[in-house]
Amino acid sequence: MVVALAGFLFKLMHWPGANIMLICGLATVGITAAIRLGSEEGVTSKISAIAAFLLAVGVLFKMLHWQYGQEILLVALALGFIVLVIYTVKRDSNQ
């Protein structure tokens, strides 16, 4: 996470090495979130793992001005919304 934040700062200041820091930092954040959330049981945890990974990849693509960054972010946010709806419905049915 620190490397990703340093990469954001370097990108903002137009310093050299920003792209490498962003790639390493956001790839690590995305993979860690996917592994941590994907190891839990249930469909919502699997979908949230995919959404977290796609969110990190989408931010990386948008920051580096690569193609399909907006589409990846849109899919990640849609999956996050689906997880939120499923979680809310499950929580309301348990009460």
Give 26-74 pLDDT, tens digit per residue. Answer: 999 889 988 888 888 888 888 888 888 999 999 999 999 999 999 999 9
- What Cα–Cα distance (Å) separates residue 62 from each residue in 39, 43, 66, 73? 28, 28, 6, 9
Whether residue 58 contacts residue 76, with contact meaning beta carbons closer than 8 Å, is answered with yes
Mean pLDDT of 67-95: 89
Q: How far apart are CA 3 and CA 8, in angstroms?
A: 9
Read off the tokens for 61: 């693509």
Tell me the one-letter amino acid at 28.
T
